[in-house]
Structure 1
Amino acid sequence: MDYLCSLRIISNYILIFIMNRKHFLIAITIASMACLNGCKSEKKATAMADTDQEVIVDSVVSTELKTDSVVFKKKAKGAECKVVVDFPQGTTELDRNIKAFICDLLGKSGPFGLMQDEKSNVTYTGDKNNGKAVVNFFGEIYAATMKQSWNEIQELNENSEEPMPYSYEIEIRLEEQTDQYVTLSINTYSYTGGAHGSSMNYSINFAKTYNDQVAYTINQKMTQSIQPLLRKGVIEYFKEQGETISDADLNNVLFIDNNTIPLPAMSPVLTTKGLRFEYQQYEIGPYAIGMVNFTLPYKDVKGYMTQEATELIGNY
């Protein structure tokens, strides 16, 4: 226990104060594993029998996801914490699976998730239908962890200036929903010393046809063939940021090997505007370029999508 405690103190004092690409890629891996644990591979939407229009309408209404926004805030000397969750209010299979996902994600998140291993994950064993209890449970753990770590750093800095307050925020919001799927957005921000904080912004889909998380939406064997679309999307992202970048410039601006932009660690997400690609800090470029994201129209990207994903977008 003393060894682990010392390791955490040293990590806080040194590693967290030096933002580097490797650590952020580890964080992305943790987040992607947390999300993909909820996915069942090779799911196929169940074909609906031909039935009358009135029955179909009733079915759509019954699968509407309703949520209640639950907020936890705590501020103390040296530490601030905020957790916001749009928590499902129903008892359907879709509601239950999203609640389980939220509990699992919160248990694998937190201000120091970067340095956690599987044994550090927190499991919520209370009533998963009580959104306030779930959010308060994890919020209190996050706040206590931040406060303890800040105190440890302050003790190491006996005769130096008091460290900046630590902060951690996570939001899980209902972004949008259609008759076929739900889109949840997950945004986190953590400051634990150093020149700047760190963020992760990504989204996931749950299918209403089989009430579970959608697996990776792009056929990952097509990474090479989809390169023209990925490069076009990244160039468009820079354009929206007020930067003019040519296709030839990308190889020098981005952290990529063999002139190939990788697919994002987090699955591209279904939206009503198209398929959105979201890259995290340091995933394909330096901190200064921000979190690259862009949306490709379904008419352009549909041929690269998995069967599961194309079944959910219908005739786009």
Structure 2
Amino acid sequence: MRTKSLSLLMSAASACCGLGVFLSCSPKEACATSVEMVGDSLVADIDMGHFAIAIQHPADTTSALAQAIAEYASEALGGTYQGEYTSPHAIMSYYHSQTIKDWLPDYQQLKEVSDADNKFYWNVRITTVADTPQFLTIAYNCETYQGGAHGLGVHFGITLRKSDCRRVGWEVIRNSNGEKVQELMRQGLREYFNVKTDDELKNLLFDENYIYTMPMPQCPPLFTADGIQFVYNPYEIAPYAAGRPTFVIPYDKLNDNLTVTAQRLCGNI
């Protein structure tokens, strides 16, 4: 189960994270500094199960920032939508229908070999995490069940710099393998797992060497009002039962290891 689920997570990471990828807006279409967000959703309860998607997006869907969010949403959902990025509803409708179509053969096969009333589940939420004059952070949550012992939930997201819609990745943290950043990460994980020592922590991770060099999350850094959020998905560094190890490191604690780009985003310079 670990290998299969980790493989699924890696596929999701490839689609969702886009680490090191940047999206630039035209200088004449500078992203807004104040964003009015609205919501839209689609829900289908059918014989196969529950299929739902909800997206928060800028009210002005023609803006550069809105289209950057729409493009990210499409990539997170699979990256096969070929239409324009000015209609979030069209993107939702496409992936909602496509998921139902793609999952139907698996559901029919399951029904042939099992009398159990297994209902599939697909629930996607794209929501606003933080909105400041410098950046907008959105989260992508996807919870799925296609039979088996349990479902799988993944959490990704992206921070967009409003001035040019650049996607922010882990490159904005300098010397991430250095002792200062590593200790801050271990501290965050100790708090998440409610343990006091690294010896206790290492027994909860897949690899005890992680306490010496903790890998950066597959989810990009999520800039929030209080600091940078680190999110490890299930099976990434710990078993499924560990949940989603998540913690926030305040900007002032990371400041010496932030690039000028990151310091400007969080308002430290």
Aligned to 1:204: 158
Instruction: Check 1:127–1:204 CA distance in 2 against 1; reply closer, same or farther (3 A cut).
Output: closer
Q: What TM-score do you get using the length of structure 2 for normalisation? A: 0.86
Aligned to 1:291: 244
| Percent sequence identity over aligned pairs | 26
Confirm whether residue 139 of structure 1 aligns to residue 110 of structure 2: no
Aligned to 2:185: 230
Aligned to 2:21: 39
Aligned to 2:74: 103
Matched residue count: 260
Question: What secondary structure, in the 3-state scheme, does the structure 1 residue paired with 2:92 have?
Answer: helix
Confirm whether residue 309 of structure 1 aligns to residue 266 of structure 2: no
Letter in 2 for 1:81: F
Distance 1:161 1:245 in 2: 47
Q: What TM-score do you get using the length of structure 1 for normalisation? A: 0.74
Distance 2:6 2:13 in 1: 10
Question: What secondary structure, in the 3-state scheme, does the structure 2 residue paired with 1:36 have?
Answer: coil
Letter in 2 for 1:165: K
Counterparts of residues 80-99 of structure 1 (less than 5 Å): 80-90=50-60, 91-99=62-70
Contact 1:146/1:167, CA 8 A, preserved across alignment: no
Contact 2:142/2:154, CA 8 A, preserved across alignment: yes
Match of 1:183 among 119, 131, 137: 137
Distance 2:82 2:203 in 1: 49
* Cα deviation digits, residues 98-156 of structure 1 (max 9, x gap): 22222222234xxxxxxxxxxxxxx223343222222111101112223331112212x
Aligned to 2:45: 75
Instruction: Check 1:277–1:76 CA distance in 2 against 1; reply closer, same or farther (3 A cut).
Output: same
Runs of 4+ in 1 over 4 A off after TM superposition: none
Contact 1:218/1:267, CA 8 A, preserved across alignment: no
CA RMSD, 1 decimal? 2.5
Contact 1:217/1:309, CA 8 A, preserved across alignment: no
* 1:172 Cα deviation after fit: 0.8
Contact 1:79/1:147, CA 8 A, preserved across alignment: no
Instruction: Check 1:218–1:211 CA distance in 2 against 1; reply closer, same or farther (3 A cut).
Output: closer
* Cα deviation digits, residues 133-192 of structure 1 (max 9, x gap): 22111101112223331112212x1xx423511111111112220000001011110111
Distance 2:58 2:11 in 1: 24
Aligned to 2:10: 29
Aligned to 1:6: none
Confirm whether residue 254 of structure 1 aligns to residue 235 of structure 2: no
Unaligned runs of 5+ in 2: none
Unaligned runs of 5+ in 1: 1-18, 47-58, 109-122
Contact 1:67/1:86, CA 8 A, preserved across alignment: yes
Contact 2:53/2:123, CA 8 A, preserved across alignment: yes
Contact 1:217/1:268, CA 8 A, preserved across alignment: no
Contact 1:86/1:173, CA 8 A, preserved across alignment: yes
* 1:27 Cα deviation after fit: 3.3
* 1:314 Cα deviation after fit: 1.5
Contact 2:42/2:92, CA 8 A, preserved across alignment: yes
* 1:66 Cα deviation after fit: 2.5
Distance 2:260 2:43 in 1: 42
- Rg: which structure is higher? 1
* 1:257 Cα deviation after fit: 4.8
Question: What secondary structure, in the 3-state scheme, does the structure 1 residue paired with 2:216 have?
Answer: coil
Letter in 2 for 1:230: M
Distance 1:221 1:129 in 2: 38
